[in-house]
């Protein structure tokens, strides 16, 4: 679509807006009626460790939302010479899981506890056993029950419990709802009825009653909605929250708020059975849409859903590129001190490509990228760690490949349960996220880690903000009874270019060797956690 056509789409209010609150960036993407991005804006932010809790202040949420939208408006004006007053639809997405409790008066009762926290081990263990369903530590219900076990004073006052996407959506629309994919990271979903599992709700309510909790869990959870359903409209107050300038009009429909896992599936066209995707950024997770239920409960595997409610097996690792980014930043400081001003793309590209020259055994080097705990390997805390023996081949190539391998090593350990132990079949894996921005690096390494062909689309860099914008578009465009996968196949991804890399047998063998060394060396990481106190 040309410049004039895009301008016309914006002027007649036919564009769709997607906003995603990622771990390090809040991104707003505007798309046209064909689903193509036509403008964007972004705001960088970071979580904080406050009193042992990883959190974001709500003031930062609203400042970041407004700044990312304002930057998008600036981009629209710069490209097309027009402003934004109307939109066809809006979608809000954010990091899944976490804990935002709200009182009957609408007041936030405790600091937002993000997915990154590993402080609910006791609750997660009890609930996994009682519900006969894996409840990871980052799930909302684990945070709630842990707060009950801790006797936290705010618990009896909770009238509404939601995720970050659900919270922002509520403030914009007044509707206490959630997309089923995001909801599946709060409490188990029954995919037969596309709602919270009633039998498991009853079990939880009995446990909560023993702790004196005065309400039923379903009464405080957001109402579950499916992709394509309308989830409310932008109120006058919500319009002001999003756009303090007052230019944006109220009344715009919003799609169900979704988590980053669901938007990643949409952005990679991985919502059909036997498809999967890997999102690799601050965290890394693999999502595989199942043909049938797993044979048994695995504590390393989350069971969630697509935005349409289909069951999905998820391997989620809290840590991926944070340690990589820290090392790249360090090399950038050296370059600047040496009088070389390199862009981020130059830095990452140079160092990542150098990694592809590494020895097959990466010189015997080893690294742990654990900024925080890692459930897959049984850590409640993390310590970024680099280890080598005196005779290790300590070269730049081996060093960088070690850290790239480490970014995916925990994912591989979890994925082995699905692909080897459970025999799950996958026809395609789509990769997206920051790890794949440098061509020819992240993609073949992931293919080696999973021993599966990996495809990356030309839109891989758009990420979840594009995915939630597409869900907003699906709500507006869908034909009666149309499935999300058909909409994506026929309207959005038909003819979309992608590049597929098959696993190189030598690289598969090399990554298997690294993964075994990584698993064997976990006691080193545990010693660091135990002896290097925060």
pLDDT category at 427 given cuts 50, 70, 90 is: confident
| 66-109 pLDDT tens trace | 999 999 999 999 999 999 999 999 999 999 999 999 999 999 99
516's CB contacts (< 8 A; 6+ apart) are none
pLDDT tens column, 392-414? 999 999 999 999 999 999 999 99
Question: Which among 32, 25, 72 is positioned nearest to 47, based on CA atoms?
Answer: 25
- For the ranges 21-35, 112-126, 386-400, 420-434, the lowest mean pLDDT is seen at 420-434
Given this model, what pLDDT does residue 1 score? Answer: 62
Torsional class of 212: left (φ above 0), alpha (ψ -120 to 50), beta (otherwise): left
What's the rounded Cα separation, in Å, for the pair 370 and 282? 11
CA distance 372 to 375: 10
Domains and CATH numbers, the chain: 1-87 (3.30.420), 269-534 (3.30.420.40)
d(CA 439, CA 148): 48
Average pLDDT, the chain: 94
Structure-token pair, residue 5: 């056509």
The candidate with the shortest Cα–Cα distance to 282, out of 414, 113, 95, 61, is 95
- In 3D space, the residue among 82, 85, 70, 1 whose CA is nearest the CA of residue 38 turns out to be 1
pTM to 2 decimal places: 0.82
Rounded Cα gap, residues 51 and 98, in angstroms: 16
Query: Where is average pLDDT lowest: 60-69, 332-341, 486-495?
Result: 486-495
Q: Are 38 and 5 in contact (CB under 8 A)?
A: no
First to last CA, the chain: 53
Q: Nearest to residue 1, comparing CAs of 95, 61, 80?
A: 80
Segment among 23-37, 158-172, 289-303 with least mean pLDDT: 289-303
State whether the Cα torsion 408-412-413-414 is positive or negative: positive
- Contact present, 22 and 45 (Cβ < 8 Å): no
pLDDT of residue 495: 80
């Amino acid at each position: 679509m040309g410049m004039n056509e895009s301008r016309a789409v914006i002027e007649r209010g036919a564009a769709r807006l997607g906003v995603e609150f990622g771990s390090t960036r809040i991104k707003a993407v505007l798309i046209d009626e064909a689903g193509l991005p036509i403008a964007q804006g972004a705001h960088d932010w970071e979580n904080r460790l406050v009193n042992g809790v990883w959190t974001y202040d709500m003031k930062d949420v609203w400042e970041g939302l407004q700044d990312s939208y304002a930057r998008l408006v600036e981009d629209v004006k710069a490209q097309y010479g027009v402003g934004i007053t109307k939109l066809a639809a809006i979608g809000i997405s954010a990091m899944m899981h976490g804990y935002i409790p709200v009182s009957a008066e609408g007041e936030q009762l405790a600091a937002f506890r993000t997915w990154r926290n590993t402080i609910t081990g006791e609750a997660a263990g009890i609930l996994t056993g009682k519900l006969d369903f894996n409840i990871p530590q980052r799930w909302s219900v684990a945070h709630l029950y842990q707060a009950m076990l801790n006797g936290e004073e705010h618990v009896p006052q909770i009238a509404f419990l939601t995720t970050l996407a659900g919270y922002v959506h509520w403030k914009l629309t007044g509707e206490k709802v959630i997309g089923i994919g995001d909801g599946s990271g709060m409490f188990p979903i029954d995919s037969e009825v596309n709602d919270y599992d009633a039998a498991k709700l009853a079990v939880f309510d009995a446990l909560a009653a023993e702790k004196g909790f005065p309400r039923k869990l379903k009464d405080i959870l957001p109402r579950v909605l499916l992709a394509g359903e309308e989830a409310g409209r932008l109120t006058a107050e919500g319009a002001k929250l999003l756009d303090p300038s007052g230019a944006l009009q109220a009344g715009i429909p919003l799609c169900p708020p979704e988590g980053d896992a669901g938007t990643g599936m949409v952005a990679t066209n991985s919502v059909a059975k036997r498809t999967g995707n890997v999102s690799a950024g601050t965290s890394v997770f693999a999502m595989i849409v199942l043909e049938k239920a797993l044979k048994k409960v695995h504590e390393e595997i989350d069971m969630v859903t697509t935005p349409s409610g289909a069951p999905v097996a998820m391997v989620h690792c809290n840590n991926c590129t944070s340690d990589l980014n820290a090392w790249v930043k360090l090399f950038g400081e050296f370059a600047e001190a040496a009088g070389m001003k390199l862009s981020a793309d130059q830095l990452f590209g140079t160092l990542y490509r150098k990694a592809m020259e590494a020895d097959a055994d990466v010189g015997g080097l080893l690294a742990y990228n654990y900024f925080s705990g890692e459930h897959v390997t049984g850590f409640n805390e993390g310590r970024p760690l680099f280890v080598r023996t005196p005779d290790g081949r300590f070269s730049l190539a081996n060093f960088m490949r070690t850290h790239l391998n480490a970014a995916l090593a925990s994912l591989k350990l979890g994925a082995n349960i699905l692909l080897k132990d459970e025999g799950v079949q996958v026809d395609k894996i789509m990769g997206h996220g920051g790890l794949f921005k440098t061509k020819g690096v992240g993609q073949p390494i992931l293919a080696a880690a999973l021993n599966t062909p990996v495809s990356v689309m030309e839109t891989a860099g758009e990420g979840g903000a594009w995915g939630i914008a597409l869900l907003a578009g699906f709500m507006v465009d869908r034909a009666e009874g149309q499935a999300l996968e058909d909409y994506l196949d026929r309207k959005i991804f038909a003819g979309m270019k992608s590049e597929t890399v098959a696993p190189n047998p030598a690289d598969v063998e090399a990554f298997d060797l690294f993964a075994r060394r990584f698993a064997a060396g976990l006691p080193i990481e545990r010693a660091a956690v135990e002896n290097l106190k925060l």
